[in-house]
């Protein structure tokens, strides 16, 4: 029996012992009464009776252990030309002082605070200050539209809102204050106060009696101590991206979250205290919460806060510059970032400019890693490239090549095996367990491990409906896929990314995998459009590599032939739209559902999370050219 199998089996057969051992890496004010509380399924709880403080575990205890002079946070902002470093001692002092600010404004344990900030160190300070007081933070991605912010204000009902005066997208300054003003006007719930961190790129006008200046408050504040909270008390609410109407507020508790994230750093990522770890994401997303802020600091690592892009700030070598300059051991980002780099620097010329000798692993997640990007990244980096899969709901990886336990050979297209704690199965639509290689619905047998969502914010029925009642006894991931005979998991995409062509269920993920292998294709997405005869037909949207100068008609013919040869005529793949870029969320997910609606001529709501609204107009024009999007 290999090391992974031994660890995994113990996590499933004896979760009490397994997670009890993991909990020893966390400092507790009061030891828990039981590890797994299974008295009210499917509302499982972890470490009931225990008391701790997440901020203390992320900051103070490292200072007390004599590591206060180690760098905790590096802020690297090519858009402003600044780099700042903060030791654990310095960062703890700033967080304690801002916790004093919040406390002075009446924020207590259990109160909610909305944080609407750009990628600056103050965003982390605000989050950790809330954790220090036992307040519940809800980070809303900086730059979200006023209506979306208003919906979250009404659901979270914050006592205080903390914002930056602006965000910076490459060279464009986006002012946040007008959007905040509009959101508060739209919302039924009104915050008591708003705290504004003024950035020099845009100074916000303050409203008397409501708005307060961050720097002025910090100058007068008395630092606040950590407040003990129950392990089962909420640490934060994070609203799932792309929600319309009532958003889904994912709840994360304090105890299970701290234990799971601390365990994941060494076992999934092979990262130890003192290592430099970089998650190139945003604090507005779950990756930012888990792997920019909490997991690295709980572990005693140096974390990087990056205000920039993979390309254009200033060039496709941006990531390599940071890895080299700051001694990064592990980079975690989204496949879309690497597809952007691949498109601009296919030969990897920029990689050769930097010393990457300390760089060990590249982890990718956020959407499916197509094999072509995997092989390209592996080739230019000559490092393990690890696809791993997880969700906002779970807060940490579900499947991964757990480097810290046992490294497995990579299979392109697979995120390797279930992470210990996740008992995965593939079911058909009737709930029957499928054999290896059979594609179905990916589910996790309950209980889920610590750190995953215990419920939704003020919406228990919706929690049951969305995740627990679909297949009783299982967590429904809403993803489709299969396991092979070696136990490798292949996640093929959201269930609604499976299309029905003349009664045949076909995976758009499988088609994308084939199209991505074409030598001229940098990036692609496939979705199903309505067809009177066959129900649905697949449409490909393709971005070509920089410098490709061929007849589009020839490329389209080649793509049809590739799908025909590898899936068969049954796929009925005939239409490809060649576009300059694909519409995406700010976290890099391709908006396939929105493109499907455009193709079908349906009305659609502009997704709140969209990176650039202009891409939807470009898609509509391209789809009209191939005969779709005509019913609007």
Residues 53 and 158 reside in one and the same domain: yes
Residues 560 and 428 reside in one and the same domain: no
Name the E strands within 296-439: 302-306, 330-333, 361-364, 385-387, 399-400, 417-418, 423-427
Residues 394 and 509 reside in one and the same domain: no
- Given 415, 446, 481, which residue is the final one in a domain? 481
Bridge partners of 387?
A: 364
> What CATH number is associated with residue 518?
3.30.300.30
The closest alpha carbon to 556, from 539, 581, 534, belongs to 539
Residues 155 and 53 reside in one and the same domain: yes
Q: Which residues contact residue 208 at a Cβ distance below 8 angstroms, ignoring those fewer than 6 apart?
A: none
> What CATH number is associated with residue 169?
3.40.50.12780
Per the domain annotation, does 313 fall within a domain? no
Q: What angle do CA 528, 533, 538 make, to 5 degrees?
A: 20
Please tell me the predicted confidence (pLDDT) of residue 534: 72
Locate 436 and state its tokens: 């290896």
Per the domain annotation, does 379 fall within a domain? no
Pairing of strands 234-239, 249-253: antiparallel
Residues 72 and 187 reside in one and the same domain: yes
Per the domain annotation, does 336 fall within a domain? no
Helix spans in 136-220 (H):
146-156, 177-186, 214-220
Per the domain annotation, does 181 fall within a domain? yes
Residues 131 and 278 reside in one and the same domain: yes
Bridge partners of 230?
A: 51
Please give the C-alpha separations between residue 197 and each of 45, 98, 471, in angstroms, as whole numbers.
37, 12, 46
Please tell me the predicted confidence (pLDDT) of residue 632: 45
Residues 477 and 541 reside in one and the same domain: no
Residues 414 and 534 reside in one and the same domain: no
| Domain enclosing residue 477, as ranges | 3-308+388-481
The 3-state secondary structure of 316-332 reads CCHHHHHHHHHCCCEEE
- Given 427, 450, 481, which residue is the final one in a domain? 481
Count of the separate structural domains present in the chain: 2
Residues 597 and 469 reside in one and the same domain: no
Q: Which residues contact residue 33 at a Cβ distance below 8 angstroms, ignoring those fewer than 6 apart?
A: 48, 49, 50
Distance between CA atoms of 78 and 110, rounded to whole angstroms?
Answer: 37
Distance between CA atoms of 397 and 418, rounded to whole angstroms?
Answer: 9
Residues 461 and 538 reside in one and the same domain: no
Residues 507 and 592 reside in one and the same domain: yes
Per the domain annotation, does 524 fall within a domain? yes
Residues of the chain predicted below pLDDT 50: 242-245, 632
Per the domain annotation, does 160 fall within a domain? yes
- Given 450, 481, 512, which residue is the final one in a domain? 481
Per the domain annotation, does 428 fall within a domain? yes
Please give the C-alpha separations between residue 590 and each of 245, 389, 425, 611, in angstroms, as whole numbers.
21, 16, 26, 10
Q: Which residues contact residue 19 at a Cβ distance below 8 angstroms, ignoring those fewer than 6 apart?
A: 11, 35, 36, 46, 259, 421, 449, 450
Helix spans in 187-330 (H):
214-220, 255-267, 286-288, 295-299, 318-326
Residues 303 and 414 reside in one and the same domain: yes
pTM for the model stands at 0.85
Locate 245 and state its tokens: 């109407």
Please tell me the predicted confidence (pLDDT) of residue 242: 38
């Amino acid at each position: 029996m290999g090391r992974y199998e031994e660890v995994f089996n113990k996590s499933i057969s004896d979760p009490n012992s397994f997670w009890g051992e993991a909990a020893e890496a966390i400092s507790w004010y009061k030891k828990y009464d039981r590890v797994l509380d299974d008295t009210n399924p499917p509302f499982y709880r972890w470490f009931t009776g225990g008391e701790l403080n997440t901020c203390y575990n992320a900051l103070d205890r490292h200072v007390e252990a004599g590591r206060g002079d180690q760098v905790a946070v590096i802020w690297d902002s090519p858009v402003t030309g600044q780099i700042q470093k903060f030791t654990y001692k310095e960062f703890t002092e700033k967080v304690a002082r801002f916790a004093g600010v919040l406390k002075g404004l009446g924020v207590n344990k259990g109160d909610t605070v909305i944080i609407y900030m750009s990628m600056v160190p103050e965003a982390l300070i605000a989050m950790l200050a809330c954790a220090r007081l036992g307040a519940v933070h809800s980070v809303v991605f900086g730059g979200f539209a006023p209506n979306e912010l208003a919906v979250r204000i009404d659901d979270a009902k914050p006592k205080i809102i903390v914002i930056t005066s602006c965000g910076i997208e490459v060279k464009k300054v986006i002012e946040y204050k007008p959007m905040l003003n509009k959101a508060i006007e739209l919302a039924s719930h009104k915050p008591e106060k708003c705290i504004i961190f003024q950035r020099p790129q845009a100074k916000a006008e303050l409203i008397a009696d409501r708005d307060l200046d961050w720097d002025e408050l910090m100058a007068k504040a008395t630092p606040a101590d950590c407040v003990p909270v129950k392990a089962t008390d909420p640490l934060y609410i994070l609203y799932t991206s792309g929600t319309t109407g009532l958003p889904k507020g994912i709840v994360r508790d304090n105890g299970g979250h701290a234990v799971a994230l601390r365990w994941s750093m060494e076992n999934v990522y092979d990262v130890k205290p003192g290592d430099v770890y970089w998650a190139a994401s945003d604090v507005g997303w779950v990756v930012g919460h888990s792997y920019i802020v909490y997991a690295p600091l709980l572990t005693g690592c140096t974390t990087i806060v990056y205000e920039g892009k993979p390309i254009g700030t200033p060039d496709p070598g941006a990531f390599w510059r940071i890895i080299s300059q700051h001694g990064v051991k592990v980079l975690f980002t989204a496949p879309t970032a690497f597809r952007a780099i691949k498109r601009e620097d296919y030969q990897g010329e920029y990689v050769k400019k930097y010393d990457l000798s300390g760089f060990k692993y590249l982890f990718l997640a956020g959407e499916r890693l197509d094999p072509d990007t995997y092989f390209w990244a592996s080739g230019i980096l000559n490092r393990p490239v690890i696809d791993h899969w997880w969700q906002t709901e779970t807060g940490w990886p579900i499947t991964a090549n757990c480097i810290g336990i046992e490294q497995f050979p990579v299979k392109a297209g697979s995120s390797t095996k279930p992470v210990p704690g996740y008992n995965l199965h593939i079911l058909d639509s009737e709930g029957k367990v499928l054999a290896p290689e059979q594609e179905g619905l990916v589910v996790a047998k309950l209980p889920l491990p610590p750190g995953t969502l215990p419920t939704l914010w003020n919406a228990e029925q919706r929690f049951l409906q969305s995740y627990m009642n679909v297949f009783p006894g299982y967590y429904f991931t809403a993803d489709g896929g299969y396991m092979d005979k070696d136990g490798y998991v292949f996640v093929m995409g959201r269930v609604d990314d499976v299309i029905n062509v003349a009664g045949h269920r076909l995976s758009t993920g499988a088609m994308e995998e084939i199209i991505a292998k074409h030598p001229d294709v940098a990036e692609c997405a496939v979705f199903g459009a309505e067809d009177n005869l066959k129900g649905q037909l697949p449409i490909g949207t393709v971005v070509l590599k920089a410098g490709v100068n061929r007849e589009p008609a020839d490329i389209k013919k080649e793509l049809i032939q590739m799908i025909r040869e590898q899936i068969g005529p049954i796929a009925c793949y005939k239409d490809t739209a060649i576009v300059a870029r694909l519409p995406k969320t700010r976290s890099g997910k391709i908006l396939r559902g929105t493109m499907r609606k455009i193709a079908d001529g349906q009305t659609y709501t502009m997704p709140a999370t969209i990176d650039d609204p202009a891409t939807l107009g470009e898609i509509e024009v391209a789809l009209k050219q191939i005969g779709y999007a005509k019913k609007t």
